Amino acid sequence: MKINQKKTSWLFAILFFIVIIVGIWDASALIYGLQRGSLYALIALPLAMVLGIMDILNLAHGELLTVGLYASYVLFINFSIDPLISTLPVFIFLVILGGIIYFLTIKKVLGEGHLPQLLLTFGISIMLIELIKIYWTTRPRNVYRAYASSSITIGNFRIGSYEFLYVFLAFAVFLLLKLFLKKTRLGQAVYAVGQNPRGAEIVGINVDLVYLFIFCLSSGILGLTAGVMLPRVSIFPLTGNPFSLISFALVAMAGMGSINGILLAGITLGIAEAVIQAIPGYGGWSDLVFFGVLIAVIMAKNIQEA
Amino acid sequence: MKKIIFYLFFVIMAATLPYYAGGYLLHVSTTILIFMSLSLSWDMMLRTGQLSFGNAGFFGLGAYASLISVSNLDIHPVLSLFFAAVFAAGVALVVGFAVLRLRKIYFAITTLALALVFEVIVMNLSDLTGGSSGRVLPQAIFGGNSVLIYWLILFITIIVILISELLNKSKTHYAINSIRNDEITARSSGINVFKYLVFVFVFTSAIQGIIGGVYTQQYAFVMPESTFSLDFLLLPIAMALVGGIYTTMGPILGAIFLGLISEYLKLIMPYGHLFIYGLIIVIVILFLPEGIYKVARKKYRNRKSQEVKLDASSEGK
Amino acid sequence: MPVLKVNNLLKKFGGLVAVNNLSFTAEKDEILGIIGPNGAGKTTVINVIAGTLPVSGGEVVFKDRQVTELPAYQRNQLGISRTFQTVRPLQDFTALENIMVGALFGKKLQLNEAREKALKICEYIELERHDLPIDKLTVLELKKIELGRALASDPELLFLDEIMAGLNSEETWQMIELIRKIKENEVAICVIEHVMKVVAELTSRVIVLDRGDIIAQGPYQQVSQQKQVITAYLGKEG
Ligand SMILES: Nc1ncnc2c1ncn2[C@@H]1O[C@H](COP(=O)(O)OP(=O)(O)OP(=O)(O)O)[C@@H](O)[C@H]1O
Ligand SMILES: [Mg+2]
């Protein structure tokens, strides 16, 4: 992965601008956006890793998150394991699931071009959605935890305090990842493979192993996130689905391969979304603005002469 | 010549189906034809090398355009299909000017997002569209006469098949095939890449629109959840892949094959029967990337050439 | 009147100046050679003249017409053709169909006309096995497809980017004869070539590029004696 190769300064500028405006107008939107945006970034990071290093856009990304949510849900319902505690077993479960998916499918389409890769992961995403439907139907499910619905009051605003965990987790994961890439041998290998897989192969790096590791780790991070999310979301087979798209938009916004950019892009998008939702009477249209922004971002950064 | 007789035979068989098949088989055949057209339209766009996930979106637009033009403008249902086609084509033209400058994953994911945008817009224009609860027509097309509906859809499907065949025999075939193979070579050989992409995108969207219209007129209702359903994206893709992409025969065979399986699946697993389609896509991509049609054709050709060789060697004796 | 005139052509890739204020002309009755060490910017010159890449500055005038802003396909239709250094055949077509594409779109012929034209070209360039799919062909045949497709649009300016690379000496001679034959049809030809014997044999004039600059030009015999040219090449080797 080409870390920090692309400049993220324009994102900084936009973020700064929005923060000032929003901060004056509605401080709660700012905090809400920070929380929401951290979650987006946390979910986008694994997609960025797989895309940046393996050159595969995983359309089943959101569904891996959904699987994590249901796994955590099952642990809670059947074994009364608190979602926050279940993050660990779910992490391990998703690492294993990621490994299985990698060996059975992804491995076979590496370097085969975008067409089979997109169709394959699209097929996997459908399979996961439908499997969940078969077992749990489409009925939404919730897990209530008292600690997750606490809130704090700042001035006139009430803000969920549990969601600060997203912010904490996002920054922790990003920091750990950067440390890992810089300080460990495996991290260096990952870096090298991201830069130039053939070159890495020549200098004796086991590229296949690196890919396996990246795919498993990505899947695992989604499991971790799922456990933390569970007390605050209602889950159904399509819960994770929009996140594939959102994550891709963040990656496009940040510039392929920029880790810092993803965090910034996530927070920017989170705040923008909070602002739109705060406009009274337009709640239904907020999705449109949201997708509109996503499309605009992808277009703006990737248009080529046609 | 042999081929034409062969085709004619099938057309006559299909056209006379209502006389020898029961109501259930007629219904199944109607559904298969609908998906066949969708599958062909998706494949025709794929022949340019651009993977679109937007087909369900244009299907939905056509569905709404048809219903609204009938209920609000009092247009004849058959005429409303043209309206659906023109509307979908118009939107595709405007949208195409932007998204067709994207390539590969960027194009694919943007068309995916576009389909969602269409749905959100439809949901929110509730005065016109009935919002999330949708709208109904007082009556299905042709008073709900399933034989006439079948013939209408058969007629449209035959036209779509002809378009697909013509496309594969025309100058456009050389353009879009070149674009798919190597865009830079295409450009340096005098091909106006953008023009051809817009052209194919617009007319495949028109097909999707018209099919959306027919579907709506058949069932006399629209609703975001079912009109923009994943079925209309997933099934056509699976069908084309199973049958074999870049051909006319592939989507036709795929639609018949999966269409029949799908009826059976719906009976044995009412929940989550789409799982099989996901699985089929995965299996085809991993183990049968050429689809049934091309593999079968190759086998047939190999056998033929072997027979020729055998003939030659026996003559030698 | 020169067929091609480029003035102060500039091409940058980020901070790298690949082509630096280049000016030269190409005439109908000559074969112009463009030579220079690896990375000198030779292919980039073709790319910006043929429209494959946009220029960063300067202008390209073809037959007295400004084509600097025109897209590649229009330049091809006007009469600028090129081959690629690494061959770029259209995989799903046969050799003949590959050549047809140039006639269909570069020359705007109809299908049957284009097929006839392509057949004639196959004969002209001595490509016998033109019904085979691409993956069954030899290097020489692939190079001939490149050439055939470029010829099919009846170019008046033809760029050949290292078309001899990968050919053995007999095949190279065949190709030299072919290029001479093409020149007789009033086509201005620019060849990029690394093999100096070929350059000496084929070209009436050469331009020597080094890091985006013209460091010498003139007949090959003259240019090859010049000191800066020798250093540029030796610098690359040593
Ligand atoms: N698309 C591109 N993006 C960035 N840099 C490029 C691109 N194409 C070429 N370059 C750079 O421009 C310089 C000139 O490259 P070019 O391919 O024109 O050289 P060349 O003279 O054709 O070399 P060779 O003899 O190896 O073919 C090189 O440094 C190359 O790395
Ligand atoms: Mg070169």
- Topology classification of domain C1-79+155-238: Rossmann fold (3.40.50)
- C39 Cβ closer than 6 Å to some ligand 1 atom: yes
- A179/A166 Cα distance (integer angstroms): 20
Search chain B and give the residue with CA nearest A246.
B113
What are the DSSP calls for B270-296, one per residue? SSSTHHHHHHHHHHHHHH-TTHHHHHH
- B214/B146 Cα distance (integer angstroms): 12
Window from A18-27, B11-20, C135-144 with minimum mean pLDDT: A18-27
Contact A34, A264 (CB under 8 A): no
Q: Which of B219, B228, C79, B161 is nearest to A238 (CA)?
A: B228
- Distance from the first to the final alpha carbon of chain A: 28
Dist. CA C218 → ligand 2 center (Å): 21
Contact B196, B176 (CB under 8 A): yes
Answer yes or no: is A304 within a domain: no
H helices within C80-164, ranges in order? 95-101, 111-124, 139-151
- B53/C34 Cα distance (integer angstroms): 46
**Which atom of ligand 1 is closest in space to residue C162's alpha carbon?**
27
What ipTM was reported for this prediction?
0.90
B291-316 and B231-243 are packed helices; what angle lies between their axes, rounded to 10 degrees? 10
> What does each C-alpha distance from B103 to A205, B43, B49, C20, C89 come to in angstroms?
31, 17, 9, 31, 20
Give the count of beta carbons closer than 10 Å to the beta carbon of residue C21.
14
Dihedral, CA atoms, A166, A167, A168, A171, nearest 10 degrees? 120
Average pLDDT score over residue span C140-144: 90
Q: Which of A138, A130, A141, A134 is nearest to A73 (CA)?
A: A141
Q: Chain B within 8 Å of A282 (Cβ-Cβ)? A: no
* pLDDT surpassing 50 at residue C230: yes
| Bridge partners (DSSP) listed for residue B136 | B221
Banded pLDDT at B317 (limits 50, 70, 90): very low
Q: Which of C218, C190, C211, C202 is nearest to C2 (CA)?
A: C190
* pLDDT surpassing 70 at residue B160: yes
> pLDDT for B233-280, tens place per residue?
999 999 999 999 999 999 999 999 999 988 888 778 777 788 888 999
Taking all residues of chain A, what is their mean pLDDT, rounded to a whole number?
A: 83
| Bridge partners (DSSP) listed for residue A157 | A154
Query: How many domains in chain A?
Result: 1
**Protein residue whose Cα sits closest to atom 25 of ligand 1:** C38
Quick one: how many helices (H) and strands (E) in chain B?
16, 2
Sign of CA dihedral C132, C137, C141, C144: positive
3-state SS, C164-187, equals CCCCCHHHHHHHHHHHHHHHCCCC
- A56/A101 Cα distance (integer angstroms): 13
Contact C206, C223 (CB under 8 A): yes
Answer yes or no: is A127 within a domain: yes
* pLDDT surpassing 90 at residue A221: yes
Taking all residues of chain B, what is their mean pLDDT, rounded to a whole number?
A: 88
What chain B holds in terms of domains, given with CATH numbers, is 2-316 (1.10.3470)
> pLDDT for C166-179, tens place per residue?
888 888 888 898 89
* Residue recorded with tokens 């079912």: B226
* Residue recorded with tokens 């490994």: A99
Q: Show contacts of A194-203: CB within 8 Å, 24+ apart.
A: A194/A1, A194/A2, A194/A52, A194/A53, A194/A257, A195/A1, A195/A2
Predicted confidence at residue A232, as pLDDT, reads: 87
Amino acid identity of residue B75, one-letter, is I
User: With contacts defined as CB-CB under 8 Å, which chain B residues touch C76?
Assistant: 187-190
> pLDDT for A177-215, tens place per residue?
888 888 888 888 888 888 888 888 788 888 888 899 999
* pLDDT surpassing 60 at residue A34: yes
User: With contacts defined as CB-CB under 8 Å, which chain B residues touch C89?
Assistant: 182, 185
**Which atom of ligand 1 is closest in space to residue C40's alpha carbon?**
21
CATH number of the domain at A74, please: 1.10.3470
- C56 Cβ closer than 6 Å to some ligand 1 atom: no
Give the count of beta carbons closer than 10 Å to the beta carbon of residue C234.
10
Stretch(es) of chain C classified as CATH 3.40.50.300? 1-79+155-238
Banded pLDDT at A272 (limits 50, 70, 90): confident
Give the count of beta carbons closer than 10 Å to the beta carbon of residue A165.
20
Dist. CA C79 → ligand 1 center (Å): 25
> pLDDT for A124-156, tens place per residue?
999 999 999 988 888 888 888 777 777 777 666
Answer yes or no: is A141 within a domain: yes
What are the DSSP calls for B124-164, one per residue? H-HHHH-GGG-EE-SS-GGGG-HHHHHHHHHHHHHHHHHHH
- C110 Cβ closer than 6 Å to some ligand 1 atom: no
> pLDDT for C207-229, tens place per residue?
988 888 888 888 888 877 777 77
Query: How far B111 CA lies from chain A's nearest CA (Å)?
Result: 9
Answer yes or no: is A175 within a domain: yes
Answer yes or no: is A305 within a domain: no
- B197/B111 Cα distance (integer angstroms): 14
In terms of residues, how long is chain C?
Answer: 238
Predicted confidence at residue B296, as pLDDT, reads: 73
**Protein residue whose Cα sits closest to atom 11 of ligand 1:** C18
Beta strands in chain B (DSSP E): 135-136, 221-222
The structure tokens listed for C52 are 């494959």
The DSSP element (H or E) to which C26 belongs, if any, is strand C16-26
Give the count of beta carbons closer than 10 Å to the beta carbon of residue B178.
29
> pLDDT for A53-93, tens place per residue?
888 999 999 999 999 999 999 999 899 888 888 999 999 99
Which range has highest mean pLDDT (B85-89, B104-108, B146-150, C109-113)? B85-89
Q: Do A126 and B275 count as a contact with CB atoms less than 8 A apart?
A: yes
What are the DSSP calls for B28-55, one per residue? HHHHHHHHHHHHHHHHHHHTTT-----H
User: With contacts defined as CB-CB under 8 Å, which chain C residues touch B182?
Assistant: 88-91
Dist. CA C214 → ligand 1 center (Å): 15
Banded pLDDT at A8 (limits 50, 70, 90): low
Average pLDDT score over residue span B30-54: 95
* Residue recorded with tokens 């992804």: A106
- C14 Cβ closer than 6 Å to some ligand 1 atom: no
* pLDDT surpassing 50 at residue B153: yes
The structure tokens listed for C60 are 């390209």
- Select from A57, A105, A109, A126 the residue whose CB has the most chain B CBs within 10 Å, as the one to mutate to test that interface: A126
> B221-222 and C205-210: which strand pairing?
unpaired
> pLDDT for B204-240, tens place per residue?
999 999 999 999 999 988 888 888 888 899 999 999 9
Dist. CA C190 → ligand 1 center (Å): 18
* pLDDT surpassing 60 at residue A4: no
The number of the ligand nearest the C-alpha atom of C208 reads 1
| Bridge partners (DSSP) listed for residue C34 | C192, C207
Q: Which domain holds residue A124?
A: 5-298
Answer yes or no: is A48 within a domain: yes
Answer yes or no: is A306 within a domain: no
- B21/C108 Cα distance (integer angstroms): 50
Q: Which of B171, B180, B185 sits opposite C104 (nearest CB)?
A: B171
Dist. CA B182 → ligand 2 center (Å): 19
Banded pLDDT at C235 (limits 50, 70, 90): low
Banded pLDDT at A1 (limits 50, 70, 90): very low
Q: Is A163 helix (H, G, I), strand (E, B) or coil?
A: coil
- C37 Cβ closer than 6 Å to some ligand 1 atom: no
> pLDDT for C77-94, tens place per residue?
999 999 999 889 998 899
* Residue recorded with tokens 């991290």: A187
User: With contacts defined as CB-CB under 8 Å, which chain B residues touch C82?
Assistant: 188
Predicted confidence at residue A281, as pLDDT, reads: 66
Predicted confidence at residue A52, as pLDDT, reads: 85
Q: Which of A243, A304, A282 is nearest to B116 (CA)?
A: A243
